[in-house]
């Protein structure tokens, strides 16, 4: 029996295979050190959410000798560097695979910190393995996944996980009999997606080491995320201030209480990759959105979805229910109920001119 990979619902029938690949959010992300291999040691809590790309794979008709990858929806390059094609190439180093016809329906924004490409790669691995009955051992699939990208192994897992190393060391958050994430609650997440792309290498490359107190490093606390009312107090992303600052070519502000970074920086009015082409000050009007204007708007409005964060004892500690995910550019906001989350998403779309949608943690029993 192959790898179960319940985060990647799939079906193989009559020579064709389809797989749905979810997005992820980083509820906590601390970068601890820069490694000699150019990567970074980190600790992150990742959750899969019900927002998915769709990949269909079949063998090509006789006479074709090359793979064909078509993409619908969000535009992405289809050359050899595409993670779907890289996953197929990696499998071919171990098993024979015929030329493939692949169609990727891309719903997830790219360069948003949502792990769309990594999920696509993981889905390709398990789908091709099952479709052609290759019998790749779980350890082999996990090794291939790690070589494709730091986030790819997460999608081969079973749910929310604490990831360490450069992200490839995946530990299920709550094993059988252990306290559950969010105390067993099932919150909603408003995912806010500016029309801006963030360069992951540039954002990581802008970090300065060593991190000094009170900025960090901040330790991950399992018990905080096991509490149904307090878990938003654990939300943190070391890369957030860097991502916003990279947009303007500026510097971050001083750290705030309890080691959390303030985000009062300007953004980039150009819709170019952050960290690559810095330019002038941010403009807060819809249609010319910046990272800083999104951050400022969330700072002013997000707590209405989690009223307990307005209590003085909590507010002065810098706790909040929103953050950047990954290296950006997407943000998430935690909400207790669907109606409030939907209304908040509508406000974000209207007042900011950004994408905003509501999702829950992905669970196979919810259906696709």
Active site residues: 24, 151
The tokens of 12 are what? 């193989």
Phi, psi of 38 (to 5 degrees): 95, -15
Q: What is the DSSP letter of 114?
A: S
Strand segments, DSSP code E, in the chain are: 10-13, 16-34, 40-59, 68-73, 100-106, 161-164, 169-172, 188-193, 236-237, 322-324, 331-335, 355-360
Task: Find all residues with CB under 8 Å of 124, minimum gap 6, and list them.
Answer: 19, 55, 57, 83, 84, 87, 88, 102
CA distances from 144 to 6, 69, 83, 188 (A): 18, 20, 12, 33
Going by their DSSP bridges, the two strands 68-73 and 100-106 should be labelled as parallel
CA distances from 130 to 70, 116, 124, 324 (A): 21, 21, 10, 35
CA dihedral of residues 363, 161, 146, 197 (deg, nearest 10): 80
First to last CA, the chain: 23
Determine contact, residues 155/49, Cβ cutoff 8 Å: no
What is the three-class DSSP state of 352?
Answer: helix
Do the beta carbons of residue 58 and residue 85 sit within 8 Å?
Answer: no
Q: What is the C-alpha to C-alpha distance for residues 349 and 113, in angstroms, rounded to an integer?
A: 19
Looking up tokens 């709550």, which residue turns up? 174
> Distance between CA atoms of 18 and 305, rounded to whole angstroms?
36
Do residues 341 and 50 touch, judged by C-beta distance below 8 A? no
């Amino acid at each position: 029996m192959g790898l179960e990979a319940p985060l990647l619902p799939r079906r193989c029938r009559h020579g064709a295979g389809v797989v749905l690949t979810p997005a992820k959010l980083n509820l906590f992300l601390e970068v601890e050190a820069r490694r000699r291999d150019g990567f970074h040691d980190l600790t992150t809590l990742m959750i899969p959410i019900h927002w998915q790309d769709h990949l269909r794979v079949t063998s090509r008709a006789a006479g074709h000798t090359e793979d064909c990858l078509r993409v619908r929806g969000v535009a992405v390059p289809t050359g050899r560097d595409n993670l779907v094609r890289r996953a197929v190439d990696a499998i071919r180093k171990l098993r024979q695979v015929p030329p493939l016809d692949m169609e990727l329906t891309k719903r997830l924004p790219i360069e948003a910190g949502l792990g769309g490409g990594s999920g696509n790669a993981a889905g390709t691995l398990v789908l091709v393995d099952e479709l052609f009955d290759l019998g790749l051992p779980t350890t082999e699939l996990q090794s291939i996944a790690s070589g494709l990208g730091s986030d790819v192994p997460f999608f081969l897992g079973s749910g929310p996980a604490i990831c360490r190393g450069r992200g490839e060391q995946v530990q299920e958050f709550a094993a059988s009999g252990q306290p559950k994430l969010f105390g067993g609650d099932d919150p909603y997440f408003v995912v806010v997606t500016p029309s801006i792309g963030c360069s992951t290498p540039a954002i990581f490359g802008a970090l300065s080491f060593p991190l000094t107190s009170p900025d960090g490093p901040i330790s991950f606390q399992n018990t905080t995320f096991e509490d149904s009312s307090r878990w938003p107090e654990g939300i943190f992303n070391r890369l957030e201030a860097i991502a916003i600052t990279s947009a303007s070519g500026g510097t971050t502000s001083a750290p705030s209480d309890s080691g959390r970074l303030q985000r009062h920086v300007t953004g980039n009015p150009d819709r170019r990759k952050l960290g690559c082409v810095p330019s002038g000050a941010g403009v807060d009007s819809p249609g010319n959105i910046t990272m800083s204007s999104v951050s400022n708007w969330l700072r002013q409005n997000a707590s209405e979805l989690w009223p307990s964060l307005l209590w003085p004892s909590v507010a002065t500690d810098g706790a909040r229910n929103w953050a950047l995910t990954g290296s950006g550019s997407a943000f998430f906001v935690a909400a207790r109920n669907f109606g409030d989350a939907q209304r908040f998403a509508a406000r974000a779309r209207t007042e900011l001119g950004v994408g905003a949608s509501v999702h829950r943690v992905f669970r196979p029993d919810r259906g696709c």
